[in-house]
């Protein structure tokens, strides 16, 4: 992985998130504003991860973008810069077991609670990407990772942290190509599931379990089982 700041591709140069919302909240007396974003909701294996970032308003790290717009090398190059720049940051995880037992909505709430607890400070307000308030009392911003610098920072911190976890476990689960797909569905991942069934870190309550030719472990069902939601991050 490269450690130098990435050179922005032309397509990204006009898509910089800003601090308009954060500054507006500070003008209202809300000093500690946290941007939050999740990653891993649409994966079939591994944790669900929520990032939280409190960014300074008087200095910036340039080249921050929504994590989904950046390549893996670009995100890795920005990670340490963002971590050192933030006034505080944290990531919280909900394990694959917790995703199965709690359902994705409650698992996301749990990961968010852990991320907030890891900040070491109590926020005055939270900014979330998307339409769903999984924290309570937060400001929701549709496509917030494109417009809010704190949400974009949180998205990179969450994505890189989770990707590193999936690369670390890949050697323990060969064949599923976790080092490349990070637990998301892709042809190699789907073929491996048909050949060997789910690994120890697969979410076994998900509907893909019903379509495996492999006839070992059965799909895990909760009393009030949720259907998997579409991939969002």
List, in order of start, the domains of the chain with CATH numbers.
Answer: 10-169 (3.30.420.10)
pLDDT for 230 equals 42
Radius of gyration of the chain (CA): 18
pLDDT for 190 equals 93
Is the pLDDT assigned to residue 15 strictly greater than 80? no
What residues does 91 pair with on adjacent strands? 51
- What's the average model confidence in pLDDT over 134-156? 95
Count of all residues that appear for the chain in the document: 233
Exposed/middle/buried for residue 46 (C-beta within 10 Å: 0-12, 13-18, 19+)? buried
Residue 66: pLDDT band (50, 70, 90) is confident
pTM over 0.85: yes
């Amino acid at each position: 992985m490269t450690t130098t700041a990435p050179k922005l591709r032309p397509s990204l140069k006009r898509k910089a998130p800003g601090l308009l919302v954060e500054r507006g909240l500070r003008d209202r007396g809300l000093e500690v504003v946290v941007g939050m974003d999740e990653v891993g909701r649409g994966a079939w294996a591994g944790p669900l991860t929520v990032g939280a970032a409190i960014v300074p308003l008087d200095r910036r790290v340039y080249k921050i973008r929504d994590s989904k717009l950046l390549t893996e090398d670009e995100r890795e190059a920005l990670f340490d810069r963002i971590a050192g720049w933030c006034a505080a940051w944290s990531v919280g995880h909900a394990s694959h077991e917790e995703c199965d037992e709690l359902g994705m909505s409650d698992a996301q709430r749990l990961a968010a609670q852990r991320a907030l607890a890891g900040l070491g400070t109590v926020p005055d307000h939270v900014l979330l990407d998307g339409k769903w308030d999984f924290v309570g009392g937060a400001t929701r911003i549709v496509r917030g990772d494109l417009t809010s610098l704190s949400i974009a920072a949180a998205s990179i911190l969450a994505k890189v942290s989770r990707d590193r976890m999936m690369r670390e476990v890949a050697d323990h689960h060969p064949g599923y190509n976790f080092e490349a797909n990070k637990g998301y569905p892709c042809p190699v991942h789907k073929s491996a599931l048909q050949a060997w069934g789910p690994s120890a870190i697969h979410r076994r309550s998900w509907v893909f379990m019903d379509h495996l030719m492999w006839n070992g472990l059965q799909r895990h069902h909760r009393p009030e089982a949720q259907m998997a939601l579409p991939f969002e991050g």
